[in-house]
Amino acid sequence: MVRLITHNLLACHVKGCTSNNFPLQFKDVQIELREAEFNPDFLRNFMPRIEWKALVDAARQLGDTSLPEEQPEMVDDEFLQKLHHVLLEVHVEEGAMVCPNCNHSYPISNGIPNMLLAEHEIG
């Protein structure tokens, strides 16, 4: 699956591609929305771990503009519901993720991203 929770962790690992290699840019994506169990305890504790700008930008690429530019200091349930939806309910099923630095393209097929590189390509 590529949901935005995973996209927020992935980076390009092509040899020599060590700066501006995160976040990967979505390309030609097909999306499915699937409900997931809401867990506010997880979200509150996970929030400090998120690369916020990357998440907001990625959500916009997928057509979701519900998140604010800055991570809010006061966190209420309404906000957590939005965050939950963006992180865990938007599934990228097909398409690709492209490195903003070296343009390497990582295909997504049947919901599974292909992050394999030939060994000589790995940094």
Partner 1 sequence: MPSKAVTATSVSDNPQEYEAEHVHAVYDEIAPHFSSTRYKPWPIIAQFLSSIPPGWVGLDSGTGNGKYLPLPVERPGSMWTVGLDRSRNLLDIARTAGGVHREVVWGDVLGRPWRDGAFDYAISIATIHHLATHARRKAAVQRLVQCLSHDHGRALIYVWAIEQDELSKRSIPLQAHAEQATQLSANGSGQDVFVPWVLSTQSKPSQKSNPAPAEDQRASNEIASRTVQNAEEAAPKVYNRYYHMFAKGELSELVIEAARESGLHVGSRPTNVGPNKEVPRRGIEIVQDGWERSNYYVELRCWRI
Smallest distance, partner 1 to C-beta of residue 95, A: 15
Among 11, 29, 75, 102, binds partner 1 (CB under 8 A): 11
The answer for 95, left when phi > 0, alpha when psi is -120 to 50, beta otherwise, is: left
Residue 65 or 106: the one with the smaller Cβ distance to partner 1 is 106
- CA 47 to CA 53: how far, in whole Å? 12
Counting residues that bind partner 1 (by CB under 8 A) gives 37
To partner 1, the closest distance from the beta carbon of 85 in angstroms equals: 14
Among 38-46, 55-63, 64-72, 74-82, which window interacts with partner 1 (CB under 8 A)?
Answer: 38-46
Q: What angle do CA 6, 43, 28 make, to 5 degrees?
A: 30
Q: Residue 90 corresponds to which amino acid? A: V
